Amino acid sequence: MVSMDLLNNDNLKKKTGGFNILSGDSTDGHGGYGAGVLNLDNVSPVFVDPKAGEAFVDMGALHARSAVEKRIKFLPNKEEVPNGKLYWLVWVSIHYKDGKPYYGGVTGCEMTVDTEIRRGYKSLPEHVNKMDKSLKGHILVDHMDETSRKILADFLINHNEDMWNHSEEKLHHDLLGK
């Protein structure tokens, strides 16, 4: 049995803005097997729950194992979950500009969950593509409802106001309309 140390000390030395503690670098710099794999060191999944008026980080979402997703069978058709509770899974990537961290990629994905029938809706290809776009520095939140965008903006500001202030004006505008 091969064991993997997800929290090795080499990964802990580099500060990444306080979001992610997992390492996605399977190559450790050798360039052999696994080269070209996405590095998830600087991306964090933030759930926005507009009904509860809150946002929270759940690292389990990197592998579809968040508290929201556990024990839920996801279906590809939204109509099959008519009473689902809306969540937005937002991929937030931390980038650096002039040596300072900022929210560089922010992309939102819709998800509905009906815990009573243990069914939910999400588009797995959309979630994967939006994570990739977040890692590449895209900001795609204009399809989210206004309440959810405000909750996300408040969460990001409260998490680290300096990172918010260093972020692109597009993020401020798309989330707050300013």
pLDDT beyond 50 at 17 = no
Query: pTM of the predicted model, to two decimals?
Result: 0.78
pLDDT at 165: 95
Residue 128: closest CA among 64, 34, 59, 53: 64
- 93-122 pLDDT per residue, tens: 999 999 899 999 999 999 999 999 999 999
pLDDT at 39: 56
- Give the residue-averaged pLDDT of 125-140: 94
Higher local confidence (pLDDT), 10 or 163: 163
Higher local confidence (pLDDT), 16 or 164: 164
Contacts of 153-161 with CB under 8 Å at 24 or more apart are 154/55, 155/46, 155/48, 155/55, 155/56, 156/92, 156/103, 156/106, 159/18, 159/19, 160/17, 160/18, 160/101
To the nearest whole percent, how much of the chain has pLDDT over 70? 76
pLDDT at 107: 97
- 36-71 pLDDT per residue, tens: 444 567 899 999 999 999 999 999 998 888 999 999
Strand partners, 100: 97
Residue keyed to tokens 């389990």: 60
pLDDT at 42: 82
Taking all residues of the chain, what is their mean pLDDT, rounded to a whole number? 83
Higher local confidence (pLDDT), 39 or 4: 39
